[in-house]
Amino acid sequence: MSFDPHAARREFPILGRQVHGKPLIYLDSAASAQKPRAVIEAMSGAMEHAYANVHRGIHTLANETTEAYERARESVRRLLGAGSVNEIVFTKGTTEAINLVASSFGQSLKAGDEIVLSQMEHHANIVPWHFLRERLGVVLRFAPVTDDGRLDLEGYRALLGPRTRMVAISHMSNVLGTINPVAEIIADAHAAGALVLLDGAQAVVHSRVDVRALDVDFYAFSGHKLYGPTGIGALYGKAELLASLPPYQGGGEMIGIVSEEQITYADPPHRFEAGTPPILEAVGLGAAVDWLMALDRDAVAAHEHALYDRVKERLNGANWITEIGTAPGKGAIFSFAMEGAHAHDVAQILDRYGIAVRAGTHCAEPLMRRFGMTSSARASFALYNTLEEADAFAEALTKTRTFFA
């Protein structure tokens, strides 16, 4: 198989639009990716033909909708290489998945227990752990990041000890593009007796994930970055771990028996899916996963790398651009500062050329501080971007530079 980005982008109706009279060049997919027709049609098709609440019905539409919802869980199981659908919990996204683990697993923690994070984490993988620090006196330790944006493995290992209970680290950084050596991270954490949660919000979009081969304990991701809808994501958890965790939220569907005196809980994954779930969003996520998995994912990854390489080549070492994150083998994310310019101004000028990039802290303030920056601009590439767009981006950067030089 191979991959044709021009054919793929025709599946994304929004990419045909213009911004400020220019063809849209969407380089903000790390924040949220655009949606292919397969997702749009799966969701509208469900509303038009087979929609009801799930799990509680006897009637045909309830059964059909339940089947569609559970089929989406099977798609996510395949995406992550999990052994059972019962290890896949639907959540609102990565943020909720991490909050679920911090909240439920956190109930077993005591003051002085340690959680190891890294300096390159998104706030979604920092703040829920801070809650445990504030409430329980759990200690947070941050593995250092090297100047080129790698995780400092020696520094990481030095943080592991007898009180380490959890290592929670991003698989791929949303700012640096760094892909962390997760197999080593997991092996070291397990040797120290700690569990591992990987924040897969970025990595799952660009690489093949196999939770069983990794032997990871928890894996979190969001649908909307994976060409699916917002409001849905998933948490993978090893069966025996999920079974050992108390519920996260209470309500319908997550119970065994409820009486005036007592409650019992359903088995995972339903124990963690209180209330009516995001049904249409699950259907959309299932469609996104099936669509993505039908592509040659290695060819897609090679294409995305080529886009990043092309921008670097076109900029040709321009000394007015400082890139943060140059780790070998990194993913297709280009975070940078332009000499003399604020990142917001850069993003605003690029917008006039029809180019969408993100500017700010990217919800990673500790990382920004590590690099002595208050913000950066970020171009993030997806499978629907083309080499011509990479060229146009580099050219627009050169023009933007003239406003500040």
85 Cβ contact list (under 8 Å, min separation 6): 70, 73, 74, 77, 269
Site track for ligand PLP across 24-43, x = CB under 6 A? -------x------------
Nearer to ligand PLP, 93 or 278 (CB): 93
Say how many residues touch ligand PLP, by CB under 6 A. 13
Which residue in 1, 44, 109, 21 sits closest to 353, CA to CA? Answer: 21
Pick out residues in 252-291 that bind ligand PLP (CB under 6 A).
none
119 binds ligand PLP (CB under 6 A): no
Applying CB under 6 A, which part among 61-69, 89-97, 257-265, 330-338 lies near ligand PLP? 89-97
Query: What is the C-alpha separation between 163 and 177, in angstroms, rounded?
Result: 30
170 binds ligand PLP (CB under 6 A): yes
376 Cβ contact list (under 8 Å, min separation 6): 175, 324, 335, 336, 337, 343, 359, 360, 362, 368
Pick out residues in 123-152 that bind ligand PLP (CB under 6 A).
124-125
Could you tell me the smallest distance in angstroms from the CB atom of residue 117 to ligand PLP? Answer: 12
Looking at 277-337, list the stretches that DSSP marks H as alpha helix, in order from N- to C-terminal side: 279-293, 297-315
380 binds ligand PLP (CB under 6 A): no
Buried (b) or exposed (e) across 100-125, using 16+ Cβ within 10 A?
bbbbbbbeebeeebbbbbbbbbbebb
Site track for ligand PLP across 190-209, x = CB under 6 A? ---------x-xx-------
180 binds ligand PLP (CB under 6 A): no
Q: Taking a C-beta distance cutoff of 8 angstroms, is the pair 159, 141 a contact?
A: yes
Q: Taking a C-beta distance cutoff of 8 angstroms, is the pair 21, 27 a contact?
A: no
Nearer to ligand PLP, 8 or 120 (CB): 120
Is 363 a residue of the active site? yes
| Residues making contact with ligand PLP (CB under 6 A) | 31, 93-95, 122, 124-125, 170, 174, 199, 201-202, 222
Cite the active site residues: 363
